[in-house]
Structure 1
Amino acid sequence: MSLTKTWRTSLAVRTGLVGALTSAVCLTSFGYAAQREDTPAPAADSGPATTEEHGKMKKKEAAPFTDATAGSCLNWSVAEDGSVSDFAQAPCEGDHRFEVSARQDLGTYPSSEFGDAAAPPDLTRQAQLRSELCYNPTLRYLDGRFDPSGRYSIASILPPADAWAAGDRTMLCGLQSTDATGTPEVTHGTVGSQDQARVTQPGQCVSVNASNSLGVVDCGEDHQLETTSVVNLLETFPEGVPSVEDQDKHLREACTKAAEDYLGGPENLEKTTLQIYWGSIPSESWIGGSHSVNCSLISAHGESGFNSLRGSATGEFTINGAPPTPEEHPEAANPAPAPAADPATNPAAGAPAAEGTPQ
């Protein structure tokens, strides 16, 4: 099998699953679907709701459950049962799960909705409040640099139950990165200083389910992609948004070299019978702050599907349950591309960045 043919056919047929790539990204175009709908803080010592003043009972203003403001970062511990503890502010350069972009007071809403006796908003209303009160302030906080298809999502935090009951109506807006279950991950650094691309790391294997959602799995399980490298395209294209053609021109060489290095040489790559695949970044994601893509290995099933791999290509592995057979692998086979990363189901380590349509 010609290695030149490998990348040429990979590039030629990447258009075969562009529809799947696009639909997977659009599932979470605003970054809401993956996140846990409410990120509760632990119980706060809010004090009584009323106090006596001059012989009369007067409502006491509730103490907010946190004094965090825009630019603050928050961290907490999550137990196996999902309960939250140790909720506190943390340095943004260190471990944290949430970066505050705005602080809102739901008490300014009509008292009929969030009055003294009102229950906390349900999940549907929380999503509406995030859209109404968090989206635009967060964009301003980031100076417009946000990729809704990238690693981070816009989220909100409401007071814990006892603080809400005592009258605290604080809502924090902010940014977080979530795993496949929607649990906020530990991150480091401010979002504005990060590459927002959603990528997997070399050696990780990625499965594609029936709805074209991606998830990192153990390489011993069935999967469709194996990551060989992460390429930061900003280093190659520092002057502005590169065209898909320019990205492809650079990545066909970079990803071929990455695959050879990953497997220990071009001969080992040829023996696997796998094809090289790389992503590309659409202009809106580039402008929003995503600049990295994955190089991966795949086994194409015609022009519109994927064979199942089990085991890492660095050792013994199977394709649809059988070991690779180089002599039976036609040189002109057309490999299909992988679907784009779905932030809604992205696991802790992330998934391939959103793919563009090659021209």
Structure 2
Amino acid sequence: MAEPPEPDQRSEPTRSPKRSRNDTTSTRLVMISAVLGALLVFTVAAALNWPSEESAQPGLGERPTTTSPPPEFEAPPGTCLNWTEPDATDIREVNCSEPHLFEMTGKSEVWARFGPDAPFPDTEVFNELKTRRCTDVAREYLDGRLDPEGRFEASAFLPSEESWERGDRTLHCALQQPGPAGKLYRFTGKVAELDQSDVYEVGTCLGISGSAVSSLVDCSRPHSVEITGVVDLGEEFSGQHPGTEQQDEYLIDACRQRLEDFAGSADAAENKDLTLYWDNIGQPSWQAGSRRVNCKVAATLGEDEGFAPVTGSVRGEVSISEEPAPTTPPSPGVPATRTR
């Protein structure tokens, strides 16, 4: 049974002939911070029409973004970045073994679509660019192992209006880990070495906005979903991708067992007017190496209608509100204060 759908930033520094390693790092951070000060980090994808570039002049996409070199952006593929302020003014490069928000994956040029006189794109167009172009960059960076429905998503540092006017048409692409309402959650390690399965730890509760899933909250607060288990489908299925029906036949018992382990009874959800359900893994995710899914409980409002607010954990007393939860705006790009 699939989960109900969710409605769900350059200034050129003065360079001395010689610099120490610390000086180099400092300069890099100044440049990155300058970029972020002028840019937006978009996390909400826009579904827009994509003009064909097949008719573009051959080689046009390889044309330099400007007749004179733009100020450099020193964050090569594999660089990991972290910040705590919503506007990323404290951005810094960190070792990828430390918690971080961005892992740089490469660049994408968009000259073929935007000529020298093109106006600065709006947010929706930049979201489209980020999603389409940087997803391709991320897929290449990961040698094809990008789970399109996994916990990591392509994003980008985008040209500022000033650099755009100078001819900059470069997207600096990265991978990030957003939550349901757009907040960014830190991760540790390189994405290539991590499980991309879109799962949460057992006992996690996801907030509620209206009838939709929102950011992670304590289970003592109104929420939409509580995670009651994690199942590794790789323990049951090997080789080819198992169809949804095969997964469901296995998961109905596996998730009941996880619920019993978590709440003390396989009937704990039913006894409290909650629904036990689970995620499925699609073929592209399976091919990318994802195998784990979540078992969940929630007060569902019917097919495709979302959730009712639940307060309390299925492990104890719960209350289900008959009134819809207040609708809260998403927080795209804002660092979360807790881990995912």
Same fold flag (TM > 0.5): yes
Distance in 2, matches of 1:98 and 1:65, equals 15
Aligned to 1:138: 138
Structure 1, 128-137 or 143-152: larger mean CA deviation: 128-137
- What is the aligned counterpart of 1:112 among 111, 117, 124? 117
Distance in 2, matches of 1:172 and 1:196, equals 22
Aligned to 2:93: 89
2:129 alignment partner, SS class: helix
Where do 5+ consecutive residues of structure 2 fail to align? Answer: 9-30, 36-66, 323-329
Q: CA deviation at 1:189?
A: 2.3
**Equivalent runs, 1:26-65 vs 2, <5 Å:** 41-43=32-34, 61-65=69-73
Aligned to 1:311: 312
2:184, 2:334 within 8 Å by CA — same for their partners in 1?
no
Distance in 2, matches of 1:300 and 1:60, equals 58
**Equivalent runs, 1:194-273 vs 2, <5 Å:** 194-207=194-207, 209=209, 212-265=212-265, 272=272
Aligned to 2:57: none
2:181, 2:213 within 8 Å by CA — same for their partners in 1?
no
Where do 5+ consecutive residues of structure 1 fail to align? Answer: 1-13, 28-39, 45-58, 114-118, 322-341, 352-359
1:41, 1:85 within 8 Å by CA — same for their partners in 2?
no
1:61, 1:167 within 8 Å by CA — same for their partners in 2?
no
1:43, 1:160 within 8 Å by CA — same for their partners in 2?
no
Q: CA deviation at 1:157?
A: 0.7
Aligned to 1:157: 157
Distance in 1, matches of 2:333 and 2:87, equals 21
Q: What is the TM-score when the length of structure 2 is the normalising length?
A: 0.64
Listed one character per residue, the Cα deviations across residues 101-150 of structure 1 (whole Å, up to 9, x for unaligned) are 2224567863334xxxxx86442342343356433333222233223332
Distance in 1, matches of 2:140 and 2:279, equals 29
Aligned to 2:76: 69
1:180, 1:345 within 8 Å by CA — same for their partners in 2?
no
Distance in 2, matches of 1:215 and 1:197, equals 18
Q: Which has the larger radius of gyration?
A: 1
CA spacing shift, 1:63–1:251, aligned 2, 3 Å: same
Structure 1, 84-93 or 237-246: larger mean CA deviation: 84-93
User: Which structure exhibits the higher relative contact order, with contacts defined as CA atoms closer than 8 Å and separated by 6 or more residues?
Assistant: 1
Q: What is the TM-score when the length of structure 1 is the normalising length?
A: 0.61
Distance in 1, matches of 2:240 and 2:313, equals 36
1:139 alignment partner, SS class: helix
**Equivalent runs, 1:259-338 vs 2, <5 Å:** 259-265=259-265, 272=272, 274-299=274-299, 308-320=309-321
Structure 1, 127-136 or 275-284: larger mean CA deviation: 127-136
1:151, 1:350 within 8 Å by CA — same for their partners in 2?
no
Distance in 2, matches of 1:345 and 1:234, equals 33
Cα-Cα RMSD: 4.1
1:179, 1:345 within 8 Å by CA — same for their partners in 2?
no
Distance in 2, matches of 1:270 and 1:127, equals 41
1:43 alignment partner, SS class: helix
CA spacing shift, 1:165–1:75, aligned 2, 3 Å: farther
Structure 1, 204-213 or 181-190: larger mean CA deviation: 204-213
1:201 alignment partner, SS class: coil
Query: Number of paired residues?
Result: 277
2:83, 2:335 within 8 Å by CA — same for their partners in 1?
no
Equivalent pairs: percent with the same residue? 30
CA spacing shift, 1:189–1:76, aligned 2, 3 Å: closer
CA spacing shift, 1:320–1:345, aligned 2, 3 Å: farther
